[in-house]
Structure 1
Amino acid sequence: MKIAIFTDTFLPDVNGVAKTLGRFTKYLDQSHHSYIVISPKQTKKEISAGQIYRQSSFPFPLYKDCRISLPNTMHLKEIIKKFQPDIIHVATPFSIGLTGLHLAKKYNIPIVGSYHTDFDHYLKYYHLTLLSKALWRYMEWFHQPLLRIFVPSAVTYDQLQKKGFQHLQIWQRGVDMNIFHPYYSTDEVRKKYNIKERYILSYVGRLAPEKNVELLPKIAKQLPPELQENVHWLIIGDGPSKSSLRNDWQQNVTYTGFLPQKEVAKIVSASDLFVFPSETETFGNVVLEALATGTPVVAANEGGVKNIVQEGFTGKLCNSNHLDSFVNAIDSILNDEDWRYQLTQNAVRYAQKQRWEDRFEELISTYQFILEETKSKQKHA
């Protein structure tokens, strides 16, 4: 099969979409399918290589970590005519995704898409809720021609179904247990970050308003005094909220910045709890990765995360933005060693069943079904 992927974010970007697509292309390499990826150029020096065709781009003014692309449509037409894909997969609904939609229509190529990001929920955090109606109108228009819209969780499926989206299919995410596992050395992490406190709590993700990270220092300062002095927080990631976090919260906390995946896995594995206050996740890859390391999760009971964390079995789901709910969950788990051990065992067993290979096989099978369906319709037209 020949697959053309159009996306406004790809490796080396550090986000769920880029990492998922990076894993998918690795799987395609191993399973001998052909593919091309159309994605933004990250730096002026970066050039297209192999199956990756980089398009010129510039940082989005409101959010420097995101880039807006200026696709070279004439060049992409030539690439598509030469490659002749069986199917086009658009992973994002903006400039490069739009180009994929245009080329699919122009050359009559079956097209599918994946819905990764709850942009509407993001607007709240940037005080742009007035744009919500226009955004949904655009999203409905963009997704309407797609033969399948892959969504990562039941929560997102229900949300889009209520909005009138059709051709929805749940396509969950997996975890690489070669990297995320519970067998790393806790002592190594404690030594590296000079941690003397009894407990380690961690967070992984963008440090940005839509991740609700400003709740973390509030939680830390609201913990009972005996816990506060016995807890060290490791905050992994970077983003526009980092400076305000550092100004507000300096005691018993280390900011690591972005780290390679293996280093992230070591830290999360060494943690007693993984704390994740984000309300905007369509899935929550980092939550599944935390469970794979045997670390119980305390998270907001919102978005796709509530389809991963099993209440009282692999962690605790808290009332969104409710400080006491998070504080009580952390307190109760840390003060019950037997329960914490059971949560750890349950977390690993659950994660072991979530293999990336299975997820990608599901995706390829759906591609094949769509192609057969399309051929059948053309035959009887």
Structure 2
Amino acid sequence: MAAADTAVMSTSSSLYISLITETFPPEINGVANTLGRLCDDLRTRGHRVQLVRPRQSSDPRGAAEQNLLLTRGWPLPGYPGLQWGQSSMHKLLRNWQRQRPDVLYIATEGPQGFSALRAARRLQIPVVSGFHTNFQQYTDHYGVGLLTRALTNYLRWFHNRSQMTLVPSVSQQIELQRRGFDNLELLARGVDSCLFHPSKRSAALRDQWGLAEHDIAVLHVGRLAAEKNLALLSKSFQALQQAHPEKRLKLILVGDGPQRSSLQQQLPEAVFCGLQRGEELATHYASGDLFLFPSLSETFGNVVLEALASGLGVVAFDQAAAAQHIRHGHNGALAVAEDEQGFIDAASWLLTDKESLRRVRLNARQHASRQGWPAIIELFEAHLRSAMQPATQLPAGRTQH
């Protein structure tokens, strides 16, 4: 290799990346978990990562770190404790003029993400955006369905002004292409298969749930909110009890959200475990047997991979993470999107034969153990570098604002 080529590689090996987001650990949601992992692993690979996020109520007053830029926020309706970032264009301009990032990753499309996009285009800093949440689908669940078209138009406008948009699943990529989103690239998700492992199964926890060794813990992990299609969760569990009266089943819900109180009234026999993190979350997963995931609004669904890694029999609709990682009848059970009876039948099939459930659970673990983060982080870095190429500095036919 020529000396000049070696010099280019050494000077380009480390990047200064600014990551802009409304949510980040220790907040508990799929977006925060993914971004926390991306940020940590980029730093491990030798990159400098600046985190730009709204100040949360849990942040100490006057908290400041070298690679942390806090902005003002508004309370986010329906998400207690979280803040929706305010527009902060001038603050970002001053900061980035003093020390210019090589590339931005904008993970959320609110006022803070919008101001970051404007500042970056003014300073000619390349931008990669991430499509992490189906906000345009959530509007129907919160009684503002009339906003769906306007929100979709805004999201398309926003993402088409970045050099590329990263999407987590092939089904999401196809759907957004159909809606006129350009420059889409796939960035899947990984799972920590050492943390989420069948060996974390706890007889003591199952005893707390009132379950003996051969009883069936039907698990759900996620936010207890309207967009998660939880009415089907309740309906499916009741159908399983009727179809399998010879088995002792108990519904275990891990997570919190605005529908928790109503679900507790509907399901008085269910166990509500609240929010769990880290080792405790892994123990809850591994102590289950069947995992029901009825959501239809996911861009990916990290919990699907976590449940597979924990060796559970997963039932989900054939989209997002489930479509990518589950082969029906081999390492899980799938139903056609919105086919509620198909979802119930898939869950019932897993409970019909003890040997089939055992085989599916073994295959689930085996598959998930190969879905690590290192290759995904490497691809993420490659996408960031690709966006920095001069030919993609501004998408063709679009003017700078």
Q: TM-score range by the shorter chain?
A: over 0.9
| Alignment check: 8 A CA contact 1:171 1:359 kept | yes
| Alignment check: 8 A CA contact 2:124 2:393 kept | no
Q: Residues 100, 376 of structure 1: CA spacing in aligned structure 2 closer, same or farther, 3 A cutoff? A: closer
What is the match of residue 244 of structure 1? Answer: 262
Q: Residues 115, 15 of structure 1: CA spacing in aligned structure 2 closer, same or farther, 3 A cutoff? A: same
Equivalent residue of 1:200, what SS? strand
- 1:102 matched to 2:102: no
Matches within 5 A, 1:118-267: 118-196=134-212, 198-225=215-242, 227=244, 230-251=248-269, 253-267=270-284
Equivalent residue of 1:275, what SS? strand
Task: Give the number of equivalent residue pairs.
Answer: 376
Q: Partners of 2:192 and 2:390 in 1: how far apart?
A: 33
Q: Residues 250, 311 of structure 1: CA spacing in aligned structure 2 closer, same or farther, 3 A cutoff? A: same
Deviates more, 1:230-239 or 1:218-227: 218-227
Deviates more, 1:11-20 or 1:66-75: 66-75
User: How far apart are 1:303 and its partner, in Å?
Assistant: 4.0
1:130-177 alpha-carbon deviations (Å, 9 max, x no partner): 111111111121112111110000111001101111110011000011
Q: Residues 65, 121 of structure 1: CA spacing in aligned structure 2 closer, same or farther, 3 A cutoff? A: farther
Q: Partners of 1:11 and 1:63 in 2: how far apart?
A: 15
User: How far apart are 1:280 and its partner, in Å?
Assistant: 0.5
User: How far apart are 1:355 and its partner, in Å?
Assistant: 1.1
Matches within 5 A, 1:1-381: 1-43=15-57, 45-46=59-60, 47-61=63-77, 63-64=79-80, 66-196=82-212, 198-225=215-242, 227=244, 230-251=248-269, 253-374=270-391
What is the match of residue 5 of structure 2? Answer: none
Question: TM (normalized to structure 1)?
Answer: 0.92
Q: Partners of 1:40 and 1:367 in 2: how far apart?
A: 23
| 1:177 counterpart letter in structure 2 | S
Q: Residues 87, 345 of structure 1: CA spacing in aligned structure 2 closer, same or farther, 3 A cutoff? A: same
User: How far apart are 1:322 and its partner, in Å?
Assistant: 4.3
User: How far apart are 1:289 and its partner, in Å?
Assistant: 0.8
Q: Partners of 2:314 and 2:391 in 1: how far apart?
A: 43
| Alignment check: 8 A CA contact 1:126 1:209 kept | yes
Q: Residues 376, 65 of structure 1: CA spacing in aligned structure 2 closer, same or farther, 3 A cutoff? A: closer
| Alignment check: 8 A CA contact 1:156 1:304 kept | no
After superposition, the CA RMSD in angstroms is 2.1
| 1:236 counterpart letter in structure 2 | V
Equivalent residue of 2:198, what SS? coil
User: How far apart are 1:321 and its partner, in Å?
Assistant: 4.9
Q: Residues 292, 240 of structure 1: CA spacing in aligned structure 2 closer, same or farther, 3 A cutoff? A: same
| 2:142 counterpart letter in structure 1 | Y
Equivalent residue of 1:238, what SS? coil
1:282-316 alpha-carbon deviations (Å, 9 max, x no partner): 11100011101111201123444322322111111
Equivalent residue of 1:38, what SS? strand
Equivalent residue of 2:18, what SS? strand
User: How far apart are 1:226 and its partner, in Å?
Assistant: 7.1
What is the match of residue 11 of structure 2? Answer: none
Deviates more, 1:74-83 or 1:237-246: 74-83
User: How far apart are 1:210 and its partner, in Å?
Assistant: 0.3
| Alignment check: 8 A CA contact 2:128 2:387 kept | no
| 1:143 counterpart letter in structure 2 | H
Q: Partners of 1:83 and 1:194 in 2: how far apart?
A: 57
User: How far apart are 1:188 and its partner, in Å?
Assistant: 3.0
For structure 2, the 5+ residue unaligned runs are 1-14, 395-401
Question: TM (normalized to structure 2)?
Answer: 0.88
1:212-253 alpha-carbon deviations (Å, 9 max, x no partner): 1122222222224473660112100000110110111111x1
Q: Partners of 1:192 and 1:48 in 2: how far apart?
A: 42
